[in-house]
Amino acid sequence: MGKNKKPPRLKARLPKGLRDIGAQEIRAREAMLRTIRDVYESYGFEPLDTPAFEYTDALGKFLPDQDRPNEGVFSFQDEDEQWLSLRYDLTAPLARHVAENYEALPKPFRRYQAGPVWRNEKPGPGRFREFIQFDADTVGTSSVAADAEMCMLAADALEALGVARGDYVIRVNNRKVLDGVLASIGVDPSADDQLGTRLIILRALDKYERLGADGVELLLGEGRKDESGDFTKGAGLAPDQIKPLMGFVQAESNGRSRTLTVMGDLVRDNEIGAQGVEELRSMDAVLSASGFADDRVVIDPSIVRGLDYYTGPVFEAELTFEVKDEKGRPVRFGSVGGGGRYDGLVARFKGQPVPATGFSIGVSRLYTALTALGKLTDAEPFGPVVVSVFDKAAMADYQALVGRLRDAGIRAELYLGSGKMGQQFKYADQRGAPCVVIQGPDEKERGEVQIKDLIEGAKAAQSVASNEEWRAERPAQFAVPEEKLVEAVQDVLARHRT
């Protein structure tokens, strides 16, 4: 009879394209989200939360490949064999919510939402399969003033976060102008049999800033091989079709007015293209009247946005400043958010036009950029005060000390491990505790507590010559009457917060 074999030990491993997030980043990120939320609220937007997954057909043709439910999104089948998908963005769930509750909602309906989204795509450096977006959308108005407001909202949010004017720009374009250019080269933007080609073209043009003119031309033609050797099939356009498209994305001139003139000349003979230019002119008028000049919002024909559901103005928020990486090389963060008008998305459910526009911030990318700028810090610089355990028989007394600190609004915890005092101090250091509270039998008898200021202790340790001197001086450790515990700890915290 063979010996029972132990089951193999499970290997701890993080799925590709995902990451764990620690306390410091979570707190700083939450502070960032509160600032953005305050700006959105000041514009009159209301919060909404939607589920993490939807029926796959609610995402529909706007997925990278509608014939394969797992291409681009993470999908599974429920007990009724219906396909469900983790949300690809926050816009499609909003469209479903509006369609379901259309009669009860005020029109226009203004909502904001922050939450994770998932992309079943190839991960890479800084490119994750799960990330957080923060959206604001206005549903139920066709006025381009709503699109202009999205640009204003984005600019105000960045400035509220500490990004100086001149270190960012909101770039605006209009899909109708691009549709006019596509029609001029024989690609009908409304033909079902050309939707695939149109989407490839949109995604190619959307990479203009990252790949440059040469890379985009390859993607508009036969295709492009990236640095890893992976080949991306192109749109298959001929050179005489590629030329007008490249002329369009490179049409930006000095100032919004001049760029509009150049764009108008490109599509003067196309009705839909000319309509797009006029919408941009109307946005320009609203922006100018609201004090948002060319130093904050520009018109840029290279802004395309890769998703197919945009139907009018599109916009991106770009950070223009440079920082140095760990090797001293200059780094630019580029786009940290974008959006546009999507008048057809809700109509898929309602069977009637429901105009909408929105803007989405990529939270992780913006967090990284703001951290590089030094604009984000942990809202709470310390860990909790740790009350040590000298005598396990006195746990109730120690817990009472913790309760006093918490009642005074001080983060505090009782050490619940099994270590001796040295191990407890090491634990407090690992937790980032500003101080440790100690009460042995002698202190208890005298009605006192000892407070060990770990921050002062660390400073003193740098100038102490020996362990003997350390023990003799007991730096940054002092006794106070037990009834003065709260005041003493508050003094320690105040000293190190200044």
- pTM of whole model > 0.95? no
On whether residue 186 sits in a domain, the answer given is: yes
Domain check: are 241 and 339 in the same one?
A: yes
Q: Is residue 309 part of a domain?
A: yes
**Residues 351, 417 within the same domain:** no
- Which residue from 319, 366, 367 is spatially nearest to 168, judged by alpha carbons? 319
Tokens linked to 343? 């008048």
Q: Is 3 domain-assigned?
A: no
110 and 188 housed in the same domain: yes
Residue 202 sits at φ, ψ, to 5 deg, of -60, -45
Q: Are 221 and 242 in contact (CB under 8 A)?
A: yes
**Do residues 369 and 419 both lie within one domain?**
no
Determine contact, residues 296/193, Cβ cutoff 8 Å: no
The predicted structure's pLDDT at residue 313: 96
Query: b vs e for 464-496, b when ≥16 Cβ sit within 10 Å of the residue's Cβ?
Result: eeeeeeeeeeebbbeebebeebbebbeebbeee
E strands, 405-463, where?
412-414, 435-438, 448-453
What is the per-residue pLDDT across 318-345, written as a single tens digit (0 to 9) for each?
999 887 777 777 878 889 999 999 998 8
pLDDT on residue 127? 79
Asked if 168 contacts 316 with a C-beta cutoff of 8 angstroms, the reply is no
Contacts of 368 (CB under 8 A, 6+ apart): 126, 333
AA identity, residue 371: T
Tell me the CATH number at 127: 3.30.930.10
What is the Cα 446 distance to its own chain's centre?
A: 54
Which amino acid would we find at residue 177?
A: V
The rounded average pLDDT for each run of 10 residues, N- to C-terminus, in the chain (498 residues) is 75 92 90 96 97 88 49 87 91 94 95 95 83 96 97 97 95 91 83 79 83 90 86 89 85 83 86 94 97 94 81 94 78 89 90 93 92 77 93 95 97 95 95 95 96 85 56 72 96 88
Last residue of a domain, one of 373, 402, 436: 373
Q: Is 166 in the same domain as 224?
A: yes
- Do both 276 and 410 map to the same domain? no
Residues 206 and 303 occupy one common structural domain: yes
Q: Residue holding tokens 């200059």?
A: 330
CA nearest neighbour of 83 among 91, 74, 92: 74
Among candidate residues 373, 405, 431, the one where a domain is terminated: 373
Length of the chain: 498
Q: Of the candidates 307, 341, 373, which is a domain's last residue?
A: 373
Domain that holds residue 112: 23-52+87-373
Instruction: Look at residue 290 in the predicted model and tell me its pLDDT.
Output: 96
Query: What CA–CA distance (Å, rounded) separates 191 from 93?
Result: 26
Q: Phi/psi at 153 (nearest 5 deg)? A: -60, -45
d(CA 417, CA 401): 17
Rounded to an integer, what distance in angstroms lies between the CA atom of residue 123 and that of residue 295? 35
- Cα atoms in the Cβ-side hemisphere of radius 13 Å centred on 268: 6
User: CATH code at 459?
Assistant: 3.40.50.800
Cβ neighbours of residue 128 closer than 8 Å, sequence gap 6 or more: 17, 18, 19, 364
The answer to whether 390 touches 439, Cβ cutoff 8 Å, is yes
d(C-alpha 189, C-alpha 176), whole Å: 9
Distances (CA, A) of 370 to 125, 363, 365: 18, 10, 9
Indicate whether 361 and 395 sit together in one domain: no
- For residue 76, is it within any domain? no
Phi, psi of 338 (to 5 degrees): -175, 180
Classify residue 190: in a domain, yes or no: yes
Give me 43's structure tokens.
Answer: 């514009």
CA-to-CA distance for 199 and 215, rounded, in angstroms? 17
Of 20, 76, 26, the residue nearest 53 (C-alpha): 76
Q: Considering the domain boundaries, does residue 2 fall inside one?
A: no
Domain count, the chain: 2
pLDDT of residue 427: 96
CB 415 within 8 A of CB 429: no
Please tell me the predicted confidence (pLDDT) of residue 464: 55
Within this chain, do residues 353 and 391 fall inside the same structural domain, yes or no?
A: no
Give the model confidence (pLDDT) of 180-205 as tens digits: 888 888 888 777 778 788 788 888 88
- Does any domain span residue 462? yes
Nearest to 313 by CA among 92, 150, 93: 150
Cα 370 to Cα 392: distance, rounded to the nearest angstrom: 46
Does a structural domain hold residue 16? no
242 and 295 housed in the same domain = yes
Instruction: State whether 153 and 190 are in the same domain.
Output: yes
**Co-location of 398 and 454 in the same domain:** yes
